[in-house]
Structure 1
Amino acid sequence: MLLVAIIGLVMTVTVVALAARRVLFLYRLATVGQPAPHRVEYARKHAGAELKAQLVEVFGQKKLLKWTPSGVAHFFVMWAFIILLTVYIEAYGAIIQGAVTGRPDFHIPLIGTWPVLGFLQDFIALACLLGLAAFAAIRIKNSPKKLGRGSRFSGSHLSGAWLILFMIFNVIWTLFLARAAAVRTGNFPYESGAFVSQTVAKVLPASALLEEIALLLHIGVMLVFLLIVVHSKHLHIFSAPLNVLFSRRPDGLGPAQEMRSGGKVLDFEEADPEVDAFGRGKLTDATWKDFLDFYTCTECGRCQSQCPAWITDKPLSPKMLILDQRDHAFKVAPYLMMSEEQRSHQGEDVLALLEKPLVGEEGVIHPDVLWSCTNCGACVEQCPVDIEHIDHILDMRRYQVMIESAFPSEAGVMLKNLENKGNPWGMSEMKRADWVAELDFEVEIVEDKMPADAEYLFWVGCAGALEDRAKRTTKAVAELLHIAGVKFAVLGPMEACTGDPARRLGMEFLFNMLAQQNIETLNEAGVKKIVATCPHCFNTLANEYPQLGGNYEVVHHTQLLAHLVEEGRLTPITPIEEKITYHDPCFLGRHNKVYAQPRDIMAKVPGVQTQEMHRCKDRGFCCGAGGARMWMEERIGKRINTERVDEALTTDPDTVSTACPFCLVMLGDAINEKKNTGAAKNSLEVVDVAQLLIKSVKPVS
């Protein structure tokens, strides 16, 4: 047994040293990037929220369990890693005690002979085997060879995944062999409970040699597995808890992150593009948290399977966006960690690799990948390890827009209009109040201060004030607030775009300019509470303006209207005998978790029959307008709004409802195309939830 102990300890020390070397390499590579002290500070200040996230996401596997078959399988495999640590304590204890006393009958103090622990060890190991079988079946069923782009594993490193499954299988069968051999020699710590080990023992001879060989085999397999893990995508076993710890709360949705350089928020008045990081133009502009995202990606493809760009045959895969950066990072890592003098001695191929642009026709990320993103957030919502794909994309867009001036030409017109006219269409600010004249009651327009009796500022938004279809929603909301007795006022010509299109395009400087202008206007007017009809305005006002000192109580119109209906201040009376399917706007739903209120409103309208689309709520499908895509041509693949309308048509609706002016326009355009081809009935229309409500609240004339 002494020889067994020596061999076991030598193997362990060797492998642990090699694993530690790899971990040190990964740490050094991550710290080549930008610091992110705000991540650590947030985690420290919100320790309670972070502890809950660890319990719910890591140990509870909440996100993984959204996908029930694979989620349950992963739940048992993950817990097998945790619970079976006790088996390794027993294994190492046995070889050490065997070397000292000659009898390897070690048990963990206090709990080591408890039959419940023996049962739990065997049960979780057996469940792990079943989980492996489920994983194998899922991978075979969803093989890219059969499904092509339709497979969520398309683009993943498939051989590495199969190797890991094989190694986990080896860990489990050697575990049962070692335990069964110990049962036969009388060195097993449990008299009962370990039902699998005791069953296997019935077919084994009582052999001390077999026990020693099985122990070494089991420990050896585990050590090889450890070495493979730290060199593969399964590094997430260790990095996922860290990534969850330092991720944004409640998730990476809602506000876009502020631009930072050197760990500090960028001050545009003092920033120097030669010194400061303006977004991400090269790998070293990424923060250590971004590198942690690279290390943590499990290549599961959940993000890819939900991405509207990927589904409509565009080149963007959120998974591959992360993996391409990770693979590039590993290629250049040895040279990134060299001194300038050492680099100068490298060959031309190495220098070319180092100078390879992060984004470009010949870059790590193709521009079409970057500009396909709608910022819908489906990737972030589904990622089980809290990777923040949108933040990666926005950082790269910022560099392309502000430093390289490389972006779709149509977006340049939008930016110029925002800068000169304060709205994406370039229309006169005096037209912002034209819709007021179409109402049969007075709407107060703020001149200097909010009227004393006004409870809310109604933020109309550019679309709501200037786009004909969206103006119908604006007038409906105004009428409903008037009927309910809610006093409100509007800014009219004083209102400017919140800056959302500029920020989501990557023009952070213009966003700052528009936001500061609006914040000054709102503060001078004494605004405290805001209601907005556009989810993009709502998200920006509620979640992003606080970054610049603009703190207001902001609600979306569906939230306020649902509250007024609940209070009885609005009473739907007139039946609307229609079958209606509701489309969740991404910036209202996924980004801000407002799912119930629009549905609550429709549920109170007499006669309405609702029918959910297949993809709804947190798995809803984008209309294609987010991420400033509203102002960019969609030239690659199928149009996203067409895909969404095709799905809506499967419910055979009389009406499609939504709660966003961008969605209203995008879905309306796609439906009109369908009408022209005869694929949709001529009576089908897209309306805002507020339009349905006003139709039911107002008496039939």
Structure 2
Amino acid sequence: MLVPNSRGGEGEAYALIWTTVNGLAFLAVTAGALALFIRVVRRRYDYLRLGRKIGGRELGEALREAAARGTKRFAAEVFGQKKLLKDARSGVMHIVIFYGFILLQFGALDIVVRGLFGGPPPLPGYAVFELLQETTVALVLLAMGYATYRRYGEKLKRLKRGWKPSVVTWFIYSLMASVLLTLAFDRLRHGEEAAWTAPISSALASAFGGVGELGASIGFYVSWWAHLLILLSFLVYVPQSKHFHILTAPLNLLLKRTEPVGRLTKLDLEDETAETFGVGTVEHFTQKQMLDFYACVECGRCTNVCPASSTGKLLSPMHMIVKLRDHLIEKGAAVTSKSPWVPAFGAAEGGAHVMSEAAPAAIAGLPPPITDIAPTMAAQQAGWTLRPDAKPEEVALVGGVMTEEEIWACTTCRNCEDQCPVGNEHVDKIVDLRRHLVLMEGSLPHDGQRAMQNIERQGNPWGLSRSDRAKWIDELKLPQPAPADPLTRVPTVKENPNFDILFFVGSMGSYDNRTKKVSRAVARLLNEAGVDFAVLGNEEKGSGDTPRRLGNEMLFQQLAGENVATFEKYGVRRIVTACPHTYNALKNEYPEFGLAADVEVLHHTELLAQLVAEGRLQAKHEVKERVTYHDSCYLGRYNEVYEPPRDVLRAIPGVELIEMERSRSNGMCCGAGGGRMWMEETQGKRVNLARTEQALAVDPTVVASACPYCLTMVEDGTKLKNVEDRVKARDVAELLEAAVFGT
């Protein structure tokens, strides 16, 4: 055996030959692996470039601009692992692996130097590095052990199991073992004594102490080459697997939206050159949206919190991204005639993945748990199958990849996006698919279509007369403590042209019998606080949130334009509304349609909290209730309004405020967002029932909310559970009304 340690002149010659051959082999293998890595990344980049530009810019240009801006958020999410720590145990585990691999890259260089030049580099403080290296290896092995337990021992439902998720586990175990064995045999071949700065390799060297000088050299180079080949194989494997996120996730986070999360992309409906609106083929997605596909790590956090997945609908945000990624790669390979697999041997030729029409129903009846994603996970796994006879370029995006059932199941609650550690944005993709269905194919579930037609004709989802929009004022007469007191009125903008705040009542607050009581409470409280306000009355139109989330961008833009014109007509400068969906539309989306930047938009809980803090509203009467507050998605996750509703509740004497297990940023949707308010649930468990069960778990007497949709859904949930006699659903304004005026 030719080894560098051979004695004598002939041995030195052999050692020189070995060192030369070993070095050349190292260069050849490393260069080959790097060439394969570059090839596979380049091919996936070519697939990505099939997508639309990002605001008129290619991906590279958009990345350069984003990097030039630089953000603290990017650093917090990439290096601080902020999103991952939402699940503390998984987060800590991942931080150990993340930083462990960064440190071990220096260790890899150290090992390369040992194999090429005969020993460790003569650097000051090397002993400290040696200790850090071995400690890091031990911590990574512990973290990987816990990761394996989470997947195969604890069997978290959100994590996939099988050979694919296991490959990287064995890569890392083998890589860590090769590091320790290389260091141990290196100690033996140099005759180094055991050292406290290298505890693990010293112990291993002691265990292999009888192999002799030749055995130590053989053991070293076998371990050294094993380490190199595993490392380079992993390098080539990464971009061909979900672990491409190692490279793409930081880029994805760098490109993360800077505009409000509640603002959907505006369509230029007057563009005569546009061939389509929305997304009908995978190429209609932007390159940033496609980057999401590559960034997905398949951790399942999005699916785990999705109200549709949790209640047995077919939609799973994780599987949506994965299916779109598979489709992009298959279609991209067909269009570019370049195999996505490098090396290409063993890759299946022909065929494409298609969502089977025979995908099993996710769930039947109501399962014992409050929520359960297992049926949806199983249905997606069974449904996404490879059909050898299918051609990727002929597979329909809607129907073949994403079923209409999945597309319409989304409540747009954004819990998936809030949980995603790599910055994937799921909601815009769902809405873009809906836009294509509605604007290009005229396809919309029947009950949703009926709501759209009613909004088009009468300005509200029920189709009630436009002229009845202000009838709630007369139907719910305000108390008249003093017959001549003008503050008990609800004036229109014509009656009070010098108003300070416009009370935008919305369709629910104007027409829905239950929500009219909330409108009444808000009006009474504004009067009591001396707020100079007015309403638009019959001149008010729906905000357009429902049409926009259902994909009818044309109707939304029409409503937005008409409302903005009315605001300008009456010089509106401050708006308050009791509907978070309207609040989000006015605050985040209307500025793109002409609403002046200096118009202040408030949710009624923000204004009420302010009035209470200023002492303009006095909660004098005790309201003895055990209250749990349900966070509206469009108020909380979309606009970060968590404290004002709670501040109001804390100010009410007698109220005991308790939190549900899922609250604030992780609060579960009531099931009504994204236009689902106007569509029946035909599969699985009702989302509002699951959310009501979560509320009942803390034994409240009142479930408080600050959204008309949430109020309706929770109230229906208490009826389904037959607890409406002992557990009431109330808006925050109604509880404050009782405290201010007495019940």
Same fold (TM over 0.5): yes
**Counterparts of 1:189 and 1:415 in 2: how far apart (Å)?**
80
2:394 pairs with 1:379:
no
Matched residue, 1:491: 536
1:211 to 201, 215, 220: 220
**Counterparts of 2:39 and 2:64 in 1: how far apart (Å)?**
28
2:365 pairs with 1:328:
no
Structure 2 counterpart SS, 1:457: strand
1:174 to 173, 178, 185: 178
Greater CA drift, 642-651 or 304-313: 642-651
1:600 to 647, 650, 656: 647
Structure 2 counterpart SS, 1:256: coil
% of aligned pairs identical?
38
Which deviations, in whole Å up to 9, do the C-alpha atoms of 1:57-107 show, x marking residues without a partner? 1111111111111111111111112111111222333344x1xxxx33325
2:272 pairs with 1:271:
yes
Q: Is the 8 A contact 1:301 1:319 kept in 2?
A: yes
Q: Is the 8 A contact 2:63 2:251 kept in 1?
A: no
Please give the TM-score of this superposition, normalised by the length of structure 1: 0.89
Q: Is the 8 A contact 2:67 2:254 kept in 1?
A: no
2:170 pairs with 1:152:
no
Q: Is the 8 A contact 1:375 1:626 kept in 2?
A: yes
Matched residue, 2:28: 10
Matched residue, 1:35: 53
Which residue identity lines up with residue 420 of structure 1 in the other structure? R
Which residue identity lines up with residue 264 of structure 2 in the other structure? A
Structure 1 counterpart SS, 2:228: helix
Structure 2 counterpart SS, 1:84: helix
**Counterparts of 1:457 and 1:588 in 2: how far apart (Å)?**
19
Alpha-carbon shift at residue 416 of structure 1 (Å): 1.3
Change (3 A) 1:38 1:528: farther
**Counterparts of 2:162 and 2:555 in 1: how far apart (Å)?**
43
Matched residue, 1:532: 577
Matched residue, 1:291: 290
2:497 to 451, 460, 472: 451
Alpha-carbon shift at residue 47 of structure 1 (Å): 5.4
Alpha-carbon shift at residue 124 of structure 1 (Å): 2.1
Change (3 A) 1:541 1:171: same
2:461 pairs with 1:418:
no
**Counterparts of 1:282 and 1:188 in 2: how far apart (Å)?**
63
Q: What is the root-mean-square deviation in Å for CA atoms of aligned residues?
A: 2.5
2:587 to 542, 545, 563: 542
Matched residue, 1:359: 398
Structure 1 counterpart SS, 2:27: helix
**Counterparts of 2:56 and 2:153 in 1: how far apart (Å)?**
43
Alpha-carbon shift at residue 38 of structure 1 (Å): 6.5
Alpha-carbon shift at residue 131 of structure 1 (Å): 0.8
Q: Is the 8 A contact 1:4 1:216 kept in 2?
A: no
Residues 224-303 of structure 1 aligned to structure 2 (within 5 Å): 224-249=233-258, 253-259=261-267, 266=268, 268-272=269-273, 275-303=274-302
Q: How many residues align?
A: 660
Q: Is the 8 A contact 1:91 1:215 kept in 2?
A: yes
**Counterparts of 2:675 and 2:740 in 1: how far apart (Å)?**
35
Residues 620-631 of structure 1 aligned to structure 2 (within 5 Å): 620-631=667-678
**Counterparts of 2:191 and 2:507 in 1: how far apart (Å)?**
77
Change (3 A) 1:659 1:327: same
Alpha-carbon shift at residue 432 of structure 1 (Å): 2.2
Alpha-carbon shift at residue 487 of structure 1 (Å): 1.6
Structure 2 gap ranges (5+): 1-18, 339-349, 353-387, 481-487
Q: Is the 8 A contact 1:142 1:152 kept in 2?
A: no
Alpha-carbon shift at residue 659 of structure 1 (Å): 0.3
Alpha-carbon shift at residue 457 of structure 1 (Å): 1.4
Alpha-carbon shift at residue 182 of structure 1 (Å): 2.9
Matched residue, 1:59: 79
Structure 2 counterpart SS, 1:445: coil
Greater CA drift, 680-689 or 293-302: 680-689
Q: Is the 8 A contact 1:43 1:50 kept in 2?
A: no
**Counterparts of 2:451 and 2:301 in 1: how far apart (Å)?**
33
**Counterparts of 1:37 and 1:388 in 2: how far apart (Å)?**
16
Change (3 A) 1:91 1:240: same
Matched residue, 1:132: 144
Alpha-carbon shift at residue 198 of structure 1 (Å): 3.7
**Counterparts of 2:106 and 2:74 in 1: how far apart (Å)?**
21
Structure 1 counterpart SS, 2:503: strand
Alpha-carbon shift at residue 26 of structure 1 (Å): 0.6
Matched residue, 2:708: 661
Matched residue, 2:484: none
Matched residue, 1:87: 107
Please give the TM-score of this superposition, normalised by the length of structure 2: 0.84
Matched residue, 2:344: none
Change (3 A) 1:636 1:87: same
Q: Is the 8 A contact 2:110 2:120 kept in 1?
A: no
Matched residue, 1:685: 728
**Counterparts of 2:614 and 2:277 in 1: how far apart (Å)?**
49
Alpha-carbon shift at residue 197 of structure 1 (Å): 3.3
Q: Is the 8 A contact 1:114 1:190 kept in 2?
A: no
Alpha-carbon shift at residue 191 of structure 1 (Å): 7.4
2:559 pairs with 1:514:
yes
Which residue identity lines up with residue 253 of structure 2 in the other structure? V
Change (3 A) 1:279 1:481: same
Q: Is the 8 A contact 1:417 1:426 kept in 2?
A: yes
Which residue identity lines up with residue 557 of structure 1 in the other structure? H
Residues 578-597 of structure 1 aligned to structure 2 (within 5 Å): 578-597=625-644
1:641 to 668, 678, 688: 688
2:432 to 395, 399, 410: 395
**Counterparts of 2:55 and 2:466 in 1: how far apart (Å)?**
41
Structure 2 counterpart SS, 1:568: coil
Q: Is the 8 A contact 1:184 1:201 kept in 2?
A: yes
Structure of larger gyration radius: 2
Structure 1 counterpart SS, 2:71: helix
Change (3 A) 1:175 1:619: same
Matched residue, 2:658: 611
1:68 to 65, 85, 88: 88
Greater CA drift, 438-447 or 76-85: 438-447
Change (3 A) 1:559 1:194: farther
**Counterparts of 1:347 and 1:186 in 2: how far apart (Å)?**
56
Which deviations, in whole Å up to 9, do the C-alpha atoms of 1:528-552 show, x marking residues without a partner? 2211110000011111112223233
Q: Is the 8 A contact 1:113 1:189 kept in 2?
A: no
**Counterparts of 1:509 and 1:187 in 2: how far apart (Å)?**
78
Q: Is the 8 A contact 1:104 1:187 kept in 2?
A: no
**Counterparts of 1:212 and 1:381 in 2: how far apart (Å)?**
47
